[in-house]
Amino acid sequence: MLSIYLIILAYIAYLIINRHIDFIIRNRYRIALVVFILLVVFRFHGSSIGMWDNYITAKVDETKTTTIVGKNRAIRSDEWLVQSPYALAQSNHEKFYPKINDNIRSDGQNMVLANAPTFSIETIGKPFNWGFLLLGMERGLSWLWYSKLLALILLSFEICRFITNNRKIALLGSIWITLSPAIQWWYSTAVVELIIYSQGLIVSSYYYTTNKDKLRNRILFMFLFTICAIGYILTLYPAVQVPLGFLTLIFIGYILKSEIKQLLINKKEILAAATCLSLLIVTIVSFIYSSYNDIQLMLGTAYPGKRISHGGEFNLAELQYYLISWLLPFKEVNFKNNSEVSSFINFFPLFIFIIIFIVKKVGANKGLFYSLFGYLIFQFSWLIFKYPEIIAKLTLFSFVPEERLAGITFGLTATYLSIWMISILVKQKPFSNIQSLVLVTLICAVYLISLTFTDMSDYLTNKYMIFTLGFFLVLNLLILKGKLKYFSMLMLTLIIISGATVNPLAKGTDSIYNKVAAMKITKLYEEFPKRKWVAVDSLVNGQFLLSLGVKTFNSVHFYPDLDMWRKLDENMEYSNIYNRYAHVKVSIIDGKTYFQLDHPDAITVYLNYKDLSKADIKYVLSPISLNYPVLQQIDFIPQDNLYIYRVND
């Protein structure tokens, strides 16, 4: 039933867009601004923090809820369990969005590295976090969520229009990219922000060169370029930063190559350029100076710092994971997880089969097309060939795992080229019915191989496999025949089903703060501030404490708390276990303190009750009754079976 509603919605959306396309394109920035203001004013967002209702259930006001429509995604724990609590922890800190949050770890955590909102010079390059500083916690969350969504739509449109010179295809492409499963399932991560910064760099470069006689506009785009450059550099995720950086440089290099003599026109522009460069340098130098030790800690971790990739370890059949994209929001995968298998929907097989024809028909921007195609082939080679370590390190692709390359940068490159291909075929309509059927048959073979040699076959089952195969073959046939109207209708349906349904529509933060536990913990913490808490026998409650602004022994540590761990492990017997980015779980025991690796990014500290004072812990939040001499029960929340203990010296 939901699928029928979504199909109807997609058709209505197509009719509205098609009928008012001129108005929408002409007023796109005004429309985006009005929509953005309304969403922020009414505190809407797409966070899955409603998941907290599954862990902390007792409410202060039973009528209040967070999730309005849609499904909270447990698998999106990097959002509802990590990034959102980090942002809320910053909002509830006694200092105004500190750069170092001393409520995390024993010596504080660098929140710029954690990509959380901070009142620091680095925030110049973090526009998605500006809302927290300007409007506070709840509207800041709305700002964070929808500024990214609208930026993606607007920037993707500009890039698609540049490569296709077709407004209808550009508008479809902007929605296509924004609602891609790879975007929506990874929405809260550095992946999406890097894509936006990449697009911002490309678009600001393009409009800088095309506004030759408008000095004010050129200066504006200089500053936009600078903001995006700062954001890109400071969003430390090399697995995407490196390959996406090369893709960005290809676009910028092509855009600027013919305009190099006109980049600086007069003294005002030279002054503006010097100001932007100074701002960039000062911000980066300040970041490196203040964060150098923390960056070194990150690079020296067992996970993820010491991972080295050489390429060649990827199953090419998995490049077509987008075939199951339409089902991911409604059915959990029985292999990997929904985020890991999400990808950009593209038509890479068709593109490769007709590349000779495409090359002959590319009109403007041939140099860019050849460069993008060449880079796509290099990425493809990285997936199938093992490169010598020296080449991996020289290209920086040693930081790039094959799975992340295939799902993000390769997929985005293939999507750009797919959209470009569609614009050519719509204009040329070169293939006869017989030629189209032959090509669709070849593509069918590729899809069948992908379905057969991956776990997609078991996931889809026979019930859905024929439908999936048929649907994508029809899309390919419509592309070959240049039927833009029918392709757009079907593609819009696929995009809405596979992307728009991933994240819920939510409002406010009641799933965390409208809780009896939150009220009692906050009251106790206000009475005894800066007393350190520990959440035991739970992988999530540490982040709950952190969201309340409580000083917390265990939470998600973006880099290891070596000072504390070595205090508890004087012989450094367990250093390879705790030297990592980690979700830290704690269990109190009567025996010797030790550490256990539960997952590459999760550890358990089995803490002797006598070491509670050594760790300077004063309060314990526990889902089970504890009976140790140093613990005094001071409260109990029966609905959640949560005990609160004071640690006596």
pLDDT at 11 over 80: no
Q: What percent of the chain stands above pLDDT 70?
A: 97
Express each pLDDT in 281-307 by its tens digit.
999 999 999 999 999 998 888 888 777
Q: What is the pLDDT of residue 429?
A: 86
Please choose, from the candidates 212, 178, 254, the residue with its C-alpha nearest in 3D space to the C-alpha of residue 499: 178
What does the pLDDT read at residue 304?
83
- Residue 463's pLDDT is 84
The confidence score (pLDDT) of residue 305 equals 75
Q: Average pLDDT of 229-247?
A: 96
pLDDT per position as a tens digit, 470-502: 999 999 999 999 999 999 999 999 999 999 999
Distance CA 105, CA 102 (A): 7
pLDDT at 619 (0 to 100): 98
Residue 649: per-residue pLDDT: 79
**Given a cut of 90, is residue 260 above it in pLDDT?**
no
Query: pLDDT-based confidence at 582, cuts 50/70/90?
Result: very high
| pLDDT at res. 299 | 86
Section 410-434 average pLDDT = 95
Does the pLDDT at position 119 exceed 70?
yes
Read off the pLDDT of residues 67-81 as tens digits, 9 standing for 90 and up: 999 999 999 999 999
Cβ–Cβ < 8 Å for 487, 475: yes
Predicted structure pTM score? 0.95
* First vs last C-alpha separation in the chain: 61
| pLDDT for 262 | 59
What is the reported pLDDT for 267?
Answer: 84
Which pLDDT score, from 0 to 100, does residue 211 have?
84
Q: Say what the pLDDT of residue 6 is.
A: 64
For residue 261, is pLDDT > 70? no
Instruction: Write down the pLDDT at residue 5.
Output: 65
More confident residue, 307 or 158: 158
E strand or H helix at 643: strand 642-647
pLDDT at 436 > cutoff 70: yes
pLDDT at res. 2? 55
Cα distances (angstroms) measured from residue 635 to each of 214, 521, 642, 644: 66, 10, 8, 5
CB proximity list for 568: less than 8 A, separation 6 or greater: 593, 605, 607, 611, 614, 615
DSSP-derived secondary structure for 277-299: HHHHHHHHHHHHHHHHHHHHHHH
Give the range among 100-109, 265-274, 607-616 with minimum mean pLDDT.
Answer: 265-274
Q: Which residue has the tokens 């024929």?
A: 466
pLDDT digits (tens, 9 = 90+) for 125-150: 999 999 999 999 999 999 999 999 99
How sure is the predictor about 428, in pLDDT bands with cuts at 50, 70 and 90? confident
Instruction: Specify the pLDDT at position 302.
Output: 85
Give the confidence band of 266 by pLDDT, cuts at 50, 70, 90.
confident
Residue 442, pLDDT score: 97
Element (H, E) at 5: helix 2-19
Predicted pLDDT at 528: 93
Q: How far apart are CA 130 and CA 640, in angstroms?
A: 35
Check: CB of residue 123 under 8 Å from CB of residue 130. yes
pLDDT of amino acid 268:
86
- The backbone torsions φ and ψ at residue 112, rounded to the nearest 5 degrees and listed phi first, read -70, -45
* Average pLDDT value for residue range 105-111: 94
- For residue 509, give every residue at least 6 positions away whose Cβ sits within 8 Å of its Cβ, in sequence order, or none: 49, 66, 88, 137, 138, 141
Choose the weakest-confidence range: 261-270, 417-426, 443-452: 261-270
Q: How far apart are CA 103 and CA 81, in angstroms?
A: 16
| Interval 176-195: pLDDT, tens | 999 999 999 999 999 999 99
Rounded to whole angstroms, the Cα distance separating 142 from 47 reads 9
Q: Strand 67-69 and strand 109-110: pairing?
A: unpaired
Average pLDDT, the chain: 94
% of the chain at pLDDT higher than 90: 87
Task: Find out whether 128 and 147 touch, Cβ atoms under 8 Å.
Answer: yes
> Residue 264 pLDDT > 90, yes or no?
no
Tell me how far apart the alpha carbons of residues 612 and 626 are, in angstroms, rounded to a whole number. Answer: 13
Higher pLDDT, 120 or 462: 120
